[in-house]
Amino acid sequence: MKMEFLKKLPREKLQKVVFVCIVTLAAVVGAVELYVLKNSSALTDVKANITKLNDQILEAERRARGAQLDVAYRTEVKSFVEAQRSAMVSGDPFAWVVREISLLAQQHPVRINGLHPGIKVEIAGGESKSRTYTVGIDFSGSYDQIGEFVRDLENKFPTAEVRSLSVGGNADDRGQHGASLTVTLRVQPPEPTKKAEAKKSA
């Protein structure tokens, strides 16, 4: 029906109708392409922004984890340093040794027979100097008890160094043997003076 109508139209009018149809179709196609391209560009921008935000979130989370680990690490190091310092000689060296060795001996069946004050030595090492205090300990117990006491002494004072250990006895000792131990303990470094701290910070 429509085709017959178009056939009856004069050639000039038919050309105008065809031209209007082509222009209309071109306009529709252009509008669709413009809309699609615009939306496609907007979608690309949105995806890029999402990716950027995700990267920023991941980076923030990584930094937060790093900060937590850093705090935990500093706390761990501080605890370690404090534990090491508490195991070092402080104040009057001989009084400190008597107290600490007596406390340790209370946890063991060994018997402390004598403590002999030793010498304090200053060791130069790089920029700082460290000091040690050597003491002699006479005690008695079975071989196993002596071994356990020495082991726990080394564990309690990780910076200590056993210099010598001698165990003696005879058949009349009934399993109890006398032991002599020489041990060198680290002395706590002195607290830095205010003048030294000011110089360090400057």
In a domain, 147, yes or no: yes
Pair (113, 171) in one structural domain: yes
**144 and 172 housed in the same domain:** yes
Mean pLDDT of 78-100: 77
- When pLDDT is averaged across residues 64-88 and rounded to a whole number, the result is 70
Question: How far from 147 is each of 69, 100, 174, CA to CA, in Å?
Answer: 40, 18, 17
User: What pLDDT, on the 0 to 100 scale, is given for residue 84?
Assistant: 65
**Strand ranges (E), the chain:** 111-125, 128-141, 161-168, 177-187
Query: Could you tell me which residues are beta bridge partners of residue 120?
Result: 133
Confidence bin at 30 (pLDDT 50/70/90) = low
Same domain, 78 and 3: yes
Confidence of residue 4 (pLDDT cuts 50, 70, 90): low
Is residue 197 in a domain?
A: no
Looking at 86, 116, 138, the residue that finishes a domain is: 86
Contact indicator for 175, 141 with CB cutoff of 8 Å: no
Percent of the chain with pLDDT over 70: 61
Domain boundary residue, one of 62, 86, 110: 86
80 & 21 share domain: yes
Please tell me the total count of domains within the chain: 2
pLDDT at 186: 87
Mean of the per-residue pLDDT values for the chain?
76
Q: Is residue 7 scored above 60 in pLDDT?
A: no
Give the three-class secondary structure for 168.
Answer: strand
pLDDT in tens, 161-195: 899 999 987 666 777 899 999 999 888 877 665 55
Residue span of the structural domain in which 106 resides: 93-187
For residue 69, the model assigns a pLDDT of 72
Q: In the structure, what pLDDT confidence band is assigned to residue 130 with cuts at 50, 70 and 90?
A: confident
> Is residue 181 one of the residues assigned to a domain?
yes
